[in-house]
Amino acid sequence: MSTISTQDIQKLREATGAGIMEVKKALQGSNGDMDKAIDLLRKAGKKLAQKVGERKTSEGRIGSYIHTDARSGALVAIACETDFVARTEDFDTLGHDIAMHIVALRPRYVDESQIPADIVAKETAVFMEQVKADGKPEKLHDTIVKGKLQAWYREICLLRQPFVKDDTKSVDDVLKEYVARLGENIRIVSFSVISL
């Protein structure tokens, strides 16, 4: 087992925002490998997000972003459990970054639960017609259509989109990282884009 230095701990804390003990455990669990330690912290964050995911979110704040051309901007309502967390710099950064993402990628819904059933049915029918026109075997039609629907969700649903500042993560992954960092349930309630 390699020796974990204070510099390694500090470097990983700066990169992830995780607490000292979590960072130290991750570094020990990965034998000092930074990339593996980051993966361990991300997995731990997802587990925490699942645990706190049902807790009530009655506090929060509005995040905002105005694009540099001053011709488009976004507002995003993000909820959390306490006003203490809502007033932190981390929470403010999350709101700004999510609003910036919204301006850049223009999602239409927070997640697929917000898409009206008639719109999903219409898209499903369009995808089925495409699959039939492509001459795919009939037994594969449903599977291919499901795959096309998942790709469509990634285009139009905020939580499914690749995060604009790091496309190796989805917006949902970023949200879970903040849940792990701040220790509270956090959810995106709604958003609005304004353009000239």
Q: pLDDT of 149-175, one tens digit each?
A: 999 999 999 999 999 999 999 999 999
Fold category of 116-155 in CATH: GTP Cyclohydrolase I; Chain A, domain 1 (1.10.286)
Are the beta carbons of 90 and 17 closer than 8 angstroms? Answer: yes
| Cα separation of the two ends of the chain | 58
The domain 59-110+157-195 having CATH identifier 3.90.1150.10: the answer here is no
Please give the model's pTM, rounded to 2 decimal places: 0.70
Q: Where are the domains of the chain?
A: 6-52, 59-110+157-195, 116-155
Nearest one of 80, 1, 196, 20 to 9, comparing CA atoms:
20
> Angle between the 6-16 and 20-29 helix axes, to the nearest 10 degrees?
110
**Topology match between the domains 6-52 and 116-155:** no
Residue-level pLDDT at 54: 60
Q: Which CATH class is domain 6-52?
A: mainly alpha
Rounded mean pLDDT, 34-42 = 75
- Mean pLDDT in the chain? 85
Place of tokens 């909820």: 79
Write out pLDDT tens, residues 70-111. Answer: 999 999 999 998 888 899 999 999 999 999 999 999 999 999
List of residues 6+ apart from 4 with CB closer than 8 A = 24, 27, 28, 32
